Amino acid sequence: MACTKAHFHPDPQPEPKPTAFSSAASLLLLLFLGLFACPCRSAPPQPARPPLLSGQPFIIFWGILDSSCSNRADARSFGMERERIAVFYEDTLGSYPYFVDKNTPVNKGLPQHTRLNSHIQKLQQDLDAALPSPRYLGLGVLRWAEWLPQWSRNREKQAMYQDASRKLMKSFFPKWTPEEVEKWSKVDFEAAAQSVMMESLREVKRLRPKALWGFSPYPSCNNNDPTQTVLGNYSGQCTPAEAALNDQLLWLWKRCSALYPLLTLDKLQSGTPGARLSSSGQIREALRVSSLAGRDFDLPVFPLVKSVYASTKTFLSQTDLVNTIGESAAMGTAGIVIWDKSEPKTERECQDLAEFVQKVLGPYFVNITTATQLCSASLCQGRGRCVRLDPDSSAYLHLPPSSTAAGKVAEKVGKGTVQSDKDNETAEPDPAEIWKKDFQCQWYKTAGGDASDQQAPRDGAESEVDAGGVTAASAAKSASDTKFRRTDPPDTGNSKPSLEAPTDSVASLPADPNVMVLLGLVAGSLCLRP
C-alpha cells in the first residue's frame, strides 16, 4: 500500500472528515495494541549463565547431613546431586565470630574483633579438609546467619550484636552521647561485617575457582511471618524497604557467583495460598538481585528449601513441595538445594527420611527435572531454560500423569518440531503445547556474547560457558514410570534423566513477531491519514 502524498494549501482548509476505512484501521490498531501490550506478561529475561552440569536446566542438590545413617536415603537414584554441594556453617569454616547467647561469645563474638589473617588461615585449612580437590565443581554455600551485615536487619535474637557493639564503642568513648554511640557503632559493625564476608568470599573463590560461591540466606525478603501469610490480603511481595536494603548489598552481589535465598515454611502455612506467595516473593526478589551484579548474564539462583516445617519438624506435604520446588523451577531458578542443618540422630529418623525420599520427594524430583529438560529441548532447543511468561500465574513445569506425555514431547523434539498433533489433540493434552502458552525461554550466555549460538558444553565450563540440551528419548524414558498429581502422593520411581548433551545444529534466537505486527499497524495507520 502506497502512502498518500500530502499537499500544501496556502489557504486554511477544513479538516477532512474521517472515512469509515480510516476509522476502522485506527480501531484495529487500538485493538492490537491492547492485545499485545498485556501487562501481566513479563519482559524477556536477561541471558543466564549456562547450567553447572550440561543439559540440566534445573538441578536438585542434596544438602541434608545424613552420613551417619546406615540406611541412607537413595538420593542419587532420583537424579539428586549429593557430591556437588558443600554447605559451611559458623563453626565449620574459618574463625567466624558469633554468640551462642549474649554471655557466650565464640571467636570473641563480634566481627569487629576478627583478626582476618588468622581467620583466613583457618579457612584455608577447613576448606582443604572439606573439599580436597582444587578443581571441585559444585555449589559452595556459606551458611553464616548468626548476624547480618546490615545493622537494621539484626532484629530479635540478633539484636544482641547491636547491644555488644554499643557496649564496645562506649568502652572506647565513654563520654559520647547515646546518638553518637549509636551512629558509630553501626558504622563500625557494618564495616567489620563487610570485611569478614568479602575476604572470606575472595579466599574461597581463589582456592576453589570452579565452584559457585555465595552466602545464605541472601538475598532476604523478610516476608515469611506465618501469622501474616495466612491473611486474605497477603501478597508475598518484597516490600520497597527490604528491596532497598538488598540494593545496598551490591558489594556482595558483585563478588558472589551464585545466590542462595532460603525458603522455609511453618506448619501453620501448610497448603495455604500464602505458602506459595511467600516462596514466590522470595524467589522473585532473588531473581531481581541476580541481575544487579553488572555481568553479561544473571547470577544463577539456587534456593535452599528446608525439607521440614519449622515448628513441627515434619516433612513438607506434596502441595508445599510444589509451593517451593515447583515454584522455583517455574520462575527460572537454576536449581534448588534440599537442606536441613539438623542431622538425623536416631535410626527411626533415618528410616523416615529414606521413606520420604523414596515415596514422595524422589518421584516428584524425577517428574520436575524431566519436565524442565523436555521444555528446554522443545521450546529453547536446549539453549535456554523455560521461565514463566506471567510470574504471578500458577503454571508449573510438570509432566501430566499419562505415561505417554513425555514420549510425545520427546518424539517431537527428535523430529525437530513442536507443532501440535491434530490427530491426538482430543486424546490427551500435549505438555509442549501447554508450555508454549505459559513459558518463554531464558537463553544461555556464551563466551562469544551470543545468547543463542552455542555448542554443547562440558561439565564445569566457565570462561567458555555454553550449554547443551537433553537427549529427549532417554529423558522421556526416565519419566515414563513417574506420575505426579498435586493432591495425591506420587508413585515411586527410580529412573534418572539423561545428562547427555545434544549434538544437533545450533538454534537461533527467534524474533518477537508482536513487535513486527505493531510496527506494521502503526505504519499503516500513518499512511491512511488524509
For 156-189, the pLDDT digits (tens) are 999 999 999 999 999 999 999 999 999 999 999 9
CA–CA dist 173, 188 (Å, integer): 13
- 265, 273 Cβ separation under 8 angstroms: no
Higher-scoring residue by pLDDT: 71, 105: 105
pLDDT of residue 237: 92
For 217-270, the pLDDT digits (tens) are 999 999 988 888 888 888 999 999 999 999 999 999 999 999 999 999 988 888
Percent of the chain having pLDDT more than 70? 71
Q: Which three cell numbers stand for residue 61?
A: 542438590
User: How far is the CA of 247 from the CAs of 148, 219, 238, 279, in angstroms?
Assistant: 15, 10, 12, 20
Q: How confident is residue 72, by pLDDT bands cut at 50, 70 and 90?
A: confident
Mean pLDDT of the chain: 79
pLDDT exceeds 60 at position 8: no
pLDDT of residue 269: 84
Sign of the torsion angle spanned by Cα atoms 355, 360, 363, 368: negative
- 230, 270 Cβ separation under 8 angstroms: no
Q: Which of 45-54, 163-172, 188-197, 415-424 bottoms out in mean pLDDT, i.e. has the lowest?
A: 415-424
Q: Which range in 102-116, 446-460, 484-498 is most confidently predicted, on average pLDDT? A: 102-116
Q: How confident is residue 372, by pLDDT bands cut at 50, 70 and 90?
A: very high
- 85, 62 Cβ separation under 8 angstroms: yes
pLDDT of residue 294: 80
Question: What does the DSSP assignment read for 75-123?
Answer: -GGGT-BSTTEEEE-TTTSS---EEEETTEEETTSSGGG--HHHHHHHH
Q: How confident is residue 491, by pLDDT bands cut at 50, 70 and 90?
A: very low
For 17-36, the pLDDT digits (tens) are 545 444 444 444 444 444 44
For 311-341, the pLDDT digits (tens) are 888 999 999 999 999 999 999 999 999 999 8
Q: How confident is residue 359, by pLDDT bands cut at 50, 70 and 90?
A: very high
Percent of the chain having pLDDT more than 90? 58
- 360, 308 Cβ separation under 8 angstroms: no
pLDDT of residue 3: 43
User: How far is the CA of 379 from the CAs of 50, 301, 466, 493, 494, in angstroms?
Assistant: 16, 21, 17, 26, 26
Q: How confident is residue 15, by pLDDT bands cut at 50, 70 and 90?
A: very low
- 252, 200 Cβ separation under 8 angstroms: no
pLDDT of residue 467: 36
User: How far is the CA of 127 from the CAs of 33, 140, 418, in angstroms?
Assistant: 57, 10, 47
- 448, 47 Cβ separation under 8 angstroms: no
Q: How confident is residue 463, by pLDDT bands cut at 50, 70 and 90?
A: very low
Higher-scoring residue by pLDDT: 195, 456: 195
Among the listed residues 482, 271, 241, the one whose alpha carbon sits nearest the alpha carbon of residue 369: 482
Residue spans of the domains in the chain: they are 59-84+210-515
Q: How confident is residue 206, by pLDDT bands cut at 50, 70 and 90?
A: very high
- Average pLDDT value for residue range 272-284: 93
pLDDT of residue 57: 97
Higher-scoring residue by pLDDT: 72, 465: 72
For the purposes of burial, counting CB atoms within 10 Å of the CB of 17, is it exposed (0-12), middle (13-18) or buried (19 or more)? exposed
pLDDT of residue 451: 53
- Average pLDDT value for residue range 429-454: 77
Question: What does the DSSP assignment read for 130-178?
Answer: H---TT--SEEEE---SS-SSGGG--GGGHHHHHHHHHHHHHH-TTS-H
**3-state DSSP helix/strand/coil % of the chain, to nearest 5:** 40, 10, 50
Hey, which bits of 288-409 come out as E strands? 304-306, 335-340, 384-388
CA–CA dist 215, 484 (Å, integer): 33
Grid look-up 510470574 returns 391
- Which string of b and e fits 350-363 if b means at least 16 CB within 10 Å? beebbebbbebbbb
CA–CA dist 317, 364 (Å, integer): 12
Q: Which of 95-104, 221-230, 271-280, 305-314 bottoms out in mean pLDDT, i.e. has the lowest?
A: 221-230
- Average pLDDT value for residue range 135-161: 96
What DSSP state is assigned to residue 326?
A: I
Beta bridge partners of 262: 304
Fold of 59-84+210-515: TIM Barrel (3.20.20)
Q: Which range in 96-105, 343-352, 491-500 is most confidently predicted, on average pLDDT? A: 96-105
- 181, 166 Cβ separation under 8 angstroms: yes
Grid look-up 495507520 returns 525
pLDDT of residue 404: 54
Higher-scoring residue by pLDDT: 366, 478: 366
pLDDT exceeds 50 at position 464: no
pLDDT exceeds 50 at position 369: yes
What DSSP state is assigned to residue 423?
A: G
Hey, which bits of 244-322 come out as E strands? 262-263, 304-306
pLDDT of residue 427: 53
CA–CA dist 381, 387 (Å, integer): 14
